[in-house]
């Protein structure tokens, strides 16, 4: 008997699951808190909860992680130099201060527009080689001809030996600046991902597991560990991709919509016939628009740990994440008494950062830059829960709300507060932590809006369910204002939105929302077994997917039947016959897909290849003015 091991290192929890390969069912799962900044401790703890006797028979390990996304968001990636080749019109700040723009590049037909300025590249590389860990190169129209990127790469490798990423290797889409950013972020993540995967592999091998190791990509597919190290940028958003594929697998629905409720956010996505729906635009992470292909996803800053706070007569949910009261009472034995004794702030002062349930912790992050007032607050806050009253007693004044906001954004303070998780504890629907702390919090906040603890908790749960339903409907009604959709769910009416695909719920607290969602929507709401470890299941259920895009165009519009150009990630080729160009493109796509599957450790005999062709043929033309081919290969892992 053989098994597969799935691991997901998420933002809050690290999950591990064991899959029986013979009947494709999960036989064991375990959850552990994710450890920062090194996720190894959380991974080790998650695996420790599984039966070690079965490890000798594990043939496949598949890993999903938010490491890449978090590294970009937190700015903890390695320093990278960027070289832009060609006539770039730079209208925004670049992601690095080590950059160079030089002459070179090509036009839309792949014809060189200027000689490459190799001397300037050499001078720049020698200046920065000791200040950076990698280089990123993007040349104008490199998707039509990447000779200049390759030449610049050779120069850098000769002078430094450091990793070099070319933009054409990551995307065949137009948009030179976005490709440059994509190459930069990829180069930045190479050392981080290498450390992570080396650590994971070492941990796996130390347990006597001799298995192929895969990594989940943000398009919902898997890739071999060595290939993943070359393009770590493709693992951004692999968490949501894992939940989508995992939900489909656990619910046994090839087509379904998925609502994934995490600690920080709620993600909506959809899968059709086992293949995730992809976004037309590149993934956006940390404010940077990339050319990375990712699943289409609707994300809202609303999760199980979203802060619930009261101001005036209004109850607010989010957007900031906090440590739930029920969990803080477990982590800090004196916290419950602190919570009970904490006074209610005055009406004038009460707000998101001044609540009777709000406390602060000092983190281990280094203070790089802080104002005198910020330093004063940091000195007053300890590494155990500290109330605003305690801060006042220590510095003899109440800090402004903006000071708290800034310190939280800098990750120097970690807030504690009431959350959806606390509300579910009050209602008895999710009681893994300290119920009394949640009840005290509901009493304190409920008193501000004339509700008892149960009324307050039920209100929070209902509002959360409405928000989930709104996010789902908004996903399908692209272009309709979400605020207008949300208003509809506050109207008492027999009318409901009908969702014609099954809706699968994934995440820790979703068991409490099945009836609520069925009441709000006309839909088949599915809660699969092991829904709390959907991402780890997705890491195992994901298929190998490879998309290869080819563009065929006439070399000259004046003589459209005379010569044809074929553009792909493999470069540019010329043909005098259209059929010859088309046959070459199809063969190139199929060969590339099969080679990719083999390199990724996938079984070529279990690969299905589909070819989609789009043609633009003007009236009177014998051959297309433009042909776009997408060769899609889908394959299963070879256990």
Mean pLDDT of 583-609: 81
Q: Phi/psi at 565 (nearest 5 deg)?
A: -110, 135
DSSP letters along 61-96, please? EEEEESHHHHHHHHT-SPPEEEEEES-----S--S-
Phi, psi of 354 (to 5 degrees): -125, 95
134: helix, strand or coil: strand
Q: How far apart are CA 45 and CA 54, in angstroms?
A: 17
Residue 487 has pLDDT above 60, yes or no: yes
Measured distance CA(1)–CA(522) in Å, rounded: 42
| pLDDT for position 47 | 92
- Quick one: pLDDT band at residue 219, thresholds 50, 70, 90? low
Q: Is the pLDDT of residue 132 over 60?
A: yes
Q: How confident is the model at residue 587 (pLDDT cuts 50, 70, 90)?
A: very high
**Residue 543 pairs with which residues in a beta bridge?**
221
- Give the number of other CB atoms < 10 A from CB of residue 114: 15
- The mean pLDDT value for 532-544 works out to 75
Which stretch, 10-24, 25-39, 249-263, has highest mean pLDDT? 249-263
Quick one: pLDDT band at residue 338, thresholds 50, 70, 90?
very high
Given pLDDT bands bounded at 50, 70 and 90, which one contains residue 238? low
What is the rounded average pLDDT of the residues 116-123? 93
Average pLDDT, the chain: 84
Helix or strand or coil: residue 531?
helix
Least trusted range by pLDDT, from 107-121, 219-233, 379-393, 600-614: 219-233
* Residue in 350, 258, 326 with CA at minimum distance from that of residue 297: 258
* 537 pLDDT more than 90: no
Least confidently predicted of 10-14, 372-376, 507-511, 591-595: 10-14
How confident is the model at residue 319, as a pLDDT? 82
Cα dist. 404→323, 343, 376 in Å? Answer: 16, 19, 11
**Residue 89 pLDDT exceeds 90:** no
pLDDT over 70 (residue 55):
yes
pLDDT bin (cut points 50, 70, 90) of residue 503 is very high
pLDDT, residue 418, reads: 97
Mean pLDDT of 476-481: 84
Residue 521: the pLDDT is 92
What separation in angstroms does the CA of 464 have from each of 72, 359, 461, 470, 501? 29, 23, 5, 10, 22
**C-alpha angle 477/479/480, rounded to 5°?**
65
Higher-pLDDT residue of 240, 429: 429
- 172/292 Cα distance (integer angstroms): 10
At 273, the pLDDT band (50, 70, 90 cuts) reads: confident
pLDDT band at 459 (very low <50, low <70, confident <90, very high): very high
Mean pLDDT is lowest, of 44-48, 244-248, 633-637, for 633-637
Distance CA(435)–CA(422), nearest Å, equals 8
Measured distance CA(460)–CA(468) in Å, rounded? 12
Q: Which residues pair with 33 in a beta bridge?
A: 13
Q: The pTM is what?
A: 0.69
Does 253 have pLDDT greater than 80? yes
Looking at residue 169, its pLDDT comes to: 75
Over 60: is that where the pLDDT of 71 sits?
Answer: no
**Percentage of residues in the chain having pLDDT higher than 90:** 29
Q: What are phi and psi of 242, to 5 degrees?
A: -65, -40
Q: What is the pLDDT of residue 220?
A: 61
177 vs 198: CA distance, rounded Å: 32
- Does position 448 have pLDDT exceeding 90, yes or no? yes
Cβ atoms of 427 and 439 closer than 8 Å: no
């Amino acid at each position: 008997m053989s098994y597969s091991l799935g691991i997901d290192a998420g933002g809050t929890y690290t999950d591990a699951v064991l899959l029986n390969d013979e009947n494709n069912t999960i036989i064991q799962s375990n959850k552990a808190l994710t450890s920062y900044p090194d996720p190894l401790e959380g991974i080790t703890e998650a695996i420790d909860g599984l039966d070690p006797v079965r490890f000798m028979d594990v043939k496949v390990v598949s890993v999903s992680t938010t490491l890449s996304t978090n590294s970009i968001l937190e700015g903890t990636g390695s320093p990278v130099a960027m070289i832009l080749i060609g006539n770039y019109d730079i209208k925004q700040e670049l992601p690095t201060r080590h950059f160079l723009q030089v002459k070179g590049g090509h036009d839309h037909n792949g014809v060189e527009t200027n000689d490459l300025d190799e001397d300037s590249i050499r001078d720049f590389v020698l200046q920065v080689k000791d200040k950076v860990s990698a280089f990123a190169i993007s040349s104008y129209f490199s998707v039509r001809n990447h000779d200049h990127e390759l030449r610049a790469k050779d120069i850098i490798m000769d002078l430094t030996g450091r990793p070099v990423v070319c933009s054409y290797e990551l995307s065949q889409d137009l948009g030179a600046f976005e490709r440059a950013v994509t190459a930069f972020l990829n180069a930045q993540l190479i050392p981080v991902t290498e450390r992570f995967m080396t650590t994971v592999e070492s941990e796996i091998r130390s347990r006597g597991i001799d298995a192929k190791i895969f990594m989940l990509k943000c398009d919902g597919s898997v890739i071999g560990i060595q290939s993943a190290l070359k393009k770590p940028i493709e693992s951004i958003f692999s968490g949501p991709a894992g939940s989508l594929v995992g939900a489909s697998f656990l619910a046994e629905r090839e087509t379904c919509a998925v609502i994934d409720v995490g600690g920080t956010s709620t993600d909506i996505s959809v899968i059709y016939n086992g293949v995730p729906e992809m976004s037309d635009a590149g993934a956006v992470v940390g404010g940077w628009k990339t050319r990375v292909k990712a699943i289409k996803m609707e994300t809202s800053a609303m999760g199980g740990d979203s802060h619930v706070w009261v101001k005036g007569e209004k109850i607010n949910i989010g957007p900031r994440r906090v440590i739930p009261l029920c969990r803080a009472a477990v982590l800090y034995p004196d916290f419950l008494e602190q919570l009970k004794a904490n006074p209610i702030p005055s009406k004038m002062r009460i707000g998101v950062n001044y609540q009777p349930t709000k406390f602060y912790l000092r983190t281990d992050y280094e203070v790089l830059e802080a104002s005198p007032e910020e330093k004063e607050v940091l000195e007053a806050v300890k590494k155990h829960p500290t109330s605003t009253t305690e801060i006042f007693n220590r510095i003899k004044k109440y800090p402004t709300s903006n000071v708290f906001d800034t310190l939280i954004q800098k990750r120097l303070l970690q807030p504690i507060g009431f959350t959806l998780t606390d509300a579910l504890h009050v209602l008895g629907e999710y009681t893994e932590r300290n119920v009394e702390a949640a009840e005290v919090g509901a009493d304190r906040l409920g008193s501000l809006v004339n509700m008892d603890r149960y009324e307050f908790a039920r209100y929070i749960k209902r509002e959360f369910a409405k928000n989930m339903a709104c996010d789902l409907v908004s996903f399908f009604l692209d272009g309709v204002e979400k605020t207008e959709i949300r208003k509809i769910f506050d109207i008492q009416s027999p009318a409901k939105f009908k969702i014609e695909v099954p809706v699968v719920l994934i995440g820790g607290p979703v068991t409490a929302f099945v009836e609520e969602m069925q009441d709000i929507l006309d839909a088949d709401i599915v809660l699969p077994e092991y829904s709390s470890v959907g991402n780890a299941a997705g890491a195992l259920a994901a298929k190998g997917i490879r998309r290869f895009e080819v563009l065929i165009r006439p070399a000259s519009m004046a003589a459209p039947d005379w010569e044809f150009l074929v553009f792909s990630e493999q470069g540019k080729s010329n043909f005098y016959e259209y059929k010859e160009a088309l046959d070459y493109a199809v063969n190139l796509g199929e060969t590339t897909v099969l080679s990719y599957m083999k390199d990724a450790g996938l079984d070529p005999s279990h690969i299905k290849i589909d070819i989609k062709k789009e043609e633009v043929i003007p009236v009177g033309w014998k051959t297309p003015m433009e042909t776009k081919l997408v060769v899609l290969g889908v394959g299963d892992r070879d256990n």
